[in-house]
A and B are shown apart, each in its own frame.
Chain A
Amino acid sequence: SQKIEQNSEALNIQEGKTATLTCNYTNYSPAYLQWYRQDPGRGPVFLLLIRENEKEKRKERLKVTFDTTLKQSLFHITASQPADSATYLCALSNTGNQFYFGTGTSLTVIP
């Protein structure tokens, strides 16, 4: 079955720096990859979708890359702010309907 791994450690960065989160997968060839934000006690909130034929996608301070050769996606938050502190989840699908999630990376932005 597919295996999806995200940064195993929590990530702490200084305000204003760029946060980079990784999502690696094996035994899978997804056509779609999503990134979500999850705050404590809340459901995940969709941020970005990137397709297998897209190398990069941007939205405001967010940038996602998708390397199907390396089987990896990188998620960047530029000019990070304390309000960006949350858990970030990647999710993969080969149909665009049901998505399978990684375990998430906890990000803390230190003022």
Chain B
Amino acid sequence: DAGVIQSPRHEVTEMGQEVTLRCKPISGHDYLFWYRQTMMRGLELLIYFNNNVPIDDSGMPEDRFSAKMPNASFSTLKIQPSEPRDSAVYFCASSLGRQGQDYTFGSGTRLTVV
């Protein structure tokens, strides 16, 4: 398995533009998580899905952020409109829900909003 695949690896966009981050989880994993990492706040859980259904989105910073999981092999995190304070590394992770023993992260998308 190629692991959790995220795209793009780097994204530079202008303030106000829409940004879409993509994630392909490990085949067979039924949990998918979106995290954001910054120097100031560390790794923050934004939202997670179980069997493609959003379970907890309490970490989503505001209405500008939205996430979808249309099927078991694909998820998106969208920011519209983007702001400079959204600049961070966004990670996707997946697991089989086996009490955290197979939590696997992607390589992340480094987002810069100018």
Contacts and interface: CB of A to CB of B under 8 A. Distances in A.
A93 interface: yes
Interface residues of B, number: 27
Contacts of A41: 107
A99 B4 CA distance: 17
Interface residues of A, number: 22
A45 B93 CA distance: 10
B14 interface: no
Given A32-B100, A49-B100, A96-B99, A43 B45 contact: no
A50 B31 CA distance: 20
Interface of B: 4, 31, 33, 35, 41-45, 48, 50, 56, 91, 93, 95, 97-108
Interface of A: 32, 34, 41-46, 49, 51, 89, 91, 93, 96-104
Given A46-B100, A97-B31, A97-B97, 8 more contacts: A43-B91, A46-B101, A89-B42, A96-B97, A98-B33, A101-B43, A103-B42, A104-B42
